[in-house]
Amino acid sequence: MNIKIINRSQHDLPSYETIASAGMDLRANLSESIVLKPLERVIVKTGLFIELPIGYEAQVRPRSGLAAKKGITVLNSPGTVDADYRGEIGVILVNLSNEAFIIENGERIAQLVIAKHERAEWITVETLSETSRGEGGFGSTGIK
């Protein structure tokens, strides 16, 4: 699949690190470092603009290493870039650790996964089919 991209950052285009990688790393495009204090959030720009085909989205997801080692994650995970969005891709990062985190220019801050999606049409009804689960939710199928 080919996707049109404008790169206004100083960094290479996102790429897959291995043949089996689902996501491509997004890098911070900064003129100066950002200090992200505990429990603070910030939108970090990437310098990337994309044109997705209709029926696809780009999902902005946390990087597992950054989350596990530093407590930094994507706040609205996964963030969605819709096919009709033409603005710069930004990543909403939050610091869930007890220490300040410095975001440097070029830092790998998130990953981008391109995903196909369906469009649903609602059908209004009065009843739904019955299942063994029924209305059980929020952990109701777990071990008791």
For position 136, what pLDDT does the model report? Answer: 74
Mean pLDDT within 25-39: 98
Helix (H) or strand (E) holding 114: strand 108-116
Give 46-93 as a DSSP string.
-SEEEEPPTTEEEEEE--HHHHHHH-EEETTSSEEE-TT--S--EEEE
Residue 23, pLDDT above cutoff 90: yes
Of all residues in the chain, the percent with pLDDT exceeding 70 is 96
Q: Say whether 64 counts as a known binding-site residue.
A: yes
Q: Say whether 25 counts as a known binding-site residue.
A: no
For position 18, what pLDDT does the model report? Answer: 96
Could you tell me the residue ranges of all domains in the chain?
4-116
Q: Say whether 63 counts as a known binding-site residue.
A: yes
Q: Say whether 35 counts as a known binding-site residue.
A: no
Q: Say whether 7 counts as a known binding-site residue.
A: no
Q: Say whether 87 counts as a known binding-site residue.
A: no
Mean pLDDT within 106-127: 97
For position 59, what pLDDT does the model report? Answer: 98
Q: What is the mean pLDDT of the chain?
A: 95
For position 140, what pLDDT does the model report? Answer: 67
Q: Say whether 82 counts as a known binding-site residue.
A: yes
Residue 144, pLDDT above cutoff 90: no
> What is the identity of the amino acid at 137?
G
User: What are the pLDDT digits (tens) for 40-95?
Assistant: 999 999 999 999 999 999 999 999 999 999 999 999 999 999 999 999 999 999 99
Answer whether CATH 2.70.40.10 is correct for domain 4-116. yes
For position 133, what pLDDT does the model report? Answer: 82
Looking at residue 128, the DSSP 8-state letter turns out to be -
